[in-house]
Amino acid sequence: MKNSKIYLFALFAVLCSCKPDTECRVEQNIGMQVVFAIDSLQGDTMRVDFTTVDSITVQGVGNDSVLYDNQKSVSSLFLPLRTDASSTAYSIKAYGKTDTLYVNHENNINFISLACGCFVYHTIYDVGGAGGLIDSLVVLNAAIENYKQDNLKIYIHL
Amino acid sequence: MKRLLLILFVSVPLALSAQEYADTALFQGANLKLDLGNSVFEPLRSKGDILSFEGSLNFDVMHRFFPTLDLGYAQSDLSAASGSFRGKGGFARIGMDLSALKKRREMNMLLVGLRVGTAVQGCSTRDVVIGNGYWGYSTENYLGRVRADVWGEVVAGLQVQVYRKFHMGWYVRYKILFSRGKNGAVTAYYIPGYGYKQDTNFSFNFFIGFKL
């Protein structure tokens, strides 16, 4: 009799455990991962170094919040893109220069679950800079989803 | 798993002796079963957010094979961290049970079987959050959608005669969802007859039956 109660309780526990998560348990941060390379002319040859930026300030254009506020030794940036527009711009200050990074992108809404909501994945189709800091830009991976990978490389000319 | 089910469904009937079949009429009547367990258990477990009702009709073939049709209705009104879901619709399962006891009695049986289930429901998913913490959030609604799902089940159950033509018993169901949807598709949070949308599910039925 005692054993049968235990079995009944175990069965009830198994059945009760069939409810799914109501909290999202997958990576929810989606953004563009940016790395840096510094090119400098040494004699007649151009030298390119992957590097950290000594000090950097990044702010989304049209947003009052600062993403990176005079942050030191930054080797990569994580920049969330707009989900309500197909173009996102950031103001970047480093080495005493200011530049604006433009990213044109496609937004793809993906329903994940009722717990997670919709994730907006992006596809970069164009990038550009307007200022004195950015020398050139290379798109490493155009797809921006909820896993970490380098998406954009910024060449900074000193 | 597929191989195990194949062995189960092929080997059990073959194991029966030819003599057993020879002295048994092919059609032995039909049974009507009304589910009591799930109808009570689902509202209790979900605190009234889910209602589910079902019944089944099976045909007794030589007291050994039971082709079965289950019909039911369910409705749900659920919420999670990033939205809410409301749906209602009907479901049907078709399949067959085998009486696994070697000694065949009128209504006392250990049953194992397979089902294919399908559900069609009208559903709405509301207030689904979109966006990020930096640029802000918005919400999206997916209203008035019709969603069909298909799944398979392995069932095991027990039934005993309680009074003349009445019997009662239970089923445990292990369910595998076939219609999982493409990545990014807006799928149902709850599927009538299947349960919460997960790759696999368990459920439990307690039924009372009547031999027609």
Three-class secondary structure assignment of chain A: CHHHHHHHHHHHHHHHCCCCCCCCCCCCCCCEEEEEEEEEEECCEEEEEECCEEEEEEEECCCCCEEEEEEEEECEEEECCCCCCCEEEEEEEECCEEEEEEEEEEEEEEEEECCCEEEEEEEEEEEEEEECCEEEEEECCCEECCCCCCCEEEEEEC
Confidence at A12, pLDDT banded by 50, 70, 90: low
Asked whether residue A126 carries a pLDDT value surpassing 80, the answer given is yes
A16 and B CB contact within 8 Å: yes
pLDDT, position A152: 95
pLDDT, position B17: 45
Nearest CA to B195 out of B121, B126, B143, B96 is that of B121
**pLDDT over 70, % of chain A:** 78
Of A16, A20, A88, which has the smallest distance from its Cβ to B196's Cβ?
Answer: A20
- The domain tally of chain B equals 1
pLDDT in tens, B179-196: 987 776 788 889 999 998
Q: How far is CA B26 from the centre of its chain?
A: 27
Q: Which two tokens stand for residue A45?
A: 């040859």
- Is A8 domain-assigned? no
Q: State the residue range of the domain holding A94.
A: 27-157
d(CA B201, CA B192): 12
- Is B19 domain-assigned? no
The mean per-residue pLDDT over the stretch A128-137 comes to: 87
- Is B93 domain-assigned? yes
pLDDT, position A147: 83
pLDDT in tens, A59-79: 999 999 999 999 999 989 999
Nearest CA to B38 out of B172, B150, B190, B166 is that of B172
Asked whether residue A107 carries a pLDDT value surpassing 80, the answer given is yes
- Name beta bridge partners: B71: B55, B92
Beta-carbon count within 10 A of B131 CB: 20
Asked whether residue B57 carries a pLDDT value surpassing 50, the answer given is yes
pLDDT, position B129: 85
- Helix (H) / strand (E) element for B180: namely none
Q: Are A54 and A75 in contact (CB under 8 A)?
A: no
Q: What is the CATH number of the domain that holds B129?
A: 2.40.160
Taking CA atoms, what residue in B is nearest to A21?
Answer: B80
- Min Cα–Cα distance to chain B from A55, Å: 21
pLDDT in tens, B120-165: 999 999 988 888 889 999 888 999 999 999 999 999 999 998 888 8
Asked whether residue A14 carries a pLDDT value surpassing 60, the answer given is no
R_g of chain B computed on alpha carbons: 20
pLDDT, position A40: 67
Lowest mean pLDDT among A14-18, A96-100, A141-145: A14-18
Confidence at B114, pLDDT banded by 50, 70, 90: very high
- Does B132 contact A31 at a Cβ distance shorter than 8 Å? yes
- Is A101 domain-assigned? yes
- Mean pLDDT (chain A) is 83
Which is higher by pLDDT, B168 or A6?
B168
pLDDT, position B163: 87
Taking CA atoms, what residue in A is nearest to B194?
Answer: A18
Asked whether residue B118 carries a pLDDT value surpassing 70, the answer given is yes
The mean per-residue pLDDT over the stretch A118-145 comes to: 90
Set of chain B residues whose Cβ sits within 8 Å of the Cβ of A13: none
The mean per-residue pLDDT over the stretch B100-107 comes to: 73
Biggest CA-to-CA distance, chain A = 91
Q: Are B189 and A114 in contact (CB under 8 A)?
A: yes
Set of chain A residues whose Cβ sits within 8 Å of the Cβ of B45: 15-16, 19
pLDDT, position B197: 87
d(CA A29, CA B31): 55
The mean per-residue pLDDT over the stretch B68-89 comes to: 92
Q: Are A152 and A32 in contact (CB under 8 A)?
A: yes
pLDDT, position B79: 86
- Does A114 contact B142 at a Cβ distance shorter than 8 Å? no
- The domain tally of chain A equals 1
Grouping H, G, I as helix, E, B as strand and the rest as coil, residue B46 is: coil
Set of chain B residues whose Cβ sits within 8 Å of the Cβ of A146: none
Most A CBs within 10 A among B45, B85, B124, B132, hence the mutation to make, goes to B132
- Is A117 domain-assigned? yes
- Is A86 domain-assigned? yes
Q: Are A124 and A7 in contact (CB under 8 A)?
A: no
Q: Which two tokens stand for residue B62?
A: 């030589």
Asked whether residue A4 carries a pLDDT value surpassing 60, the answer given is no
d(CA B146, CA A111): 16
- Mean pLDDT (chain B) is 85
| Residues with Cβ within 8 Å of residue B203, at least 6 apart in sequence | A15, A18, B38, B172, B173, B175, B195
Of B128, B183, B196, which has the smallest distance from its Cβ to A117's Cβ?
Answer: B128
d(CA A54, CA A77): 13
Most B CBs within 10 A among A16, A111, A145, hence the mutation to make, goes to A111
> Buried (b) or exposed (e) across A111-145, using 16+ Cβ within 10 A?
bbbbbbbbbbbbebeebebeeebbbebeeeeeebb
- Is A12 domain-assigned? no
- Does A113 contact B189 at a Cβ distance shorter than 8 Å? yes
Asked whether residue B55 carries a pLDDT value surpassing 50, the answer given is yes
Q: State the residue range of the domain holding B158.
A: 25-211
Asked whether residue B2 carries a pLDDT value surpassing 50, the answer given is yes
Under DSSP, the state recorded for B198 is: S
- Name beta bridge partners: B89: B74, B121
Under DSSP, the state recorded for B135 is: T
ipTM: 0.80
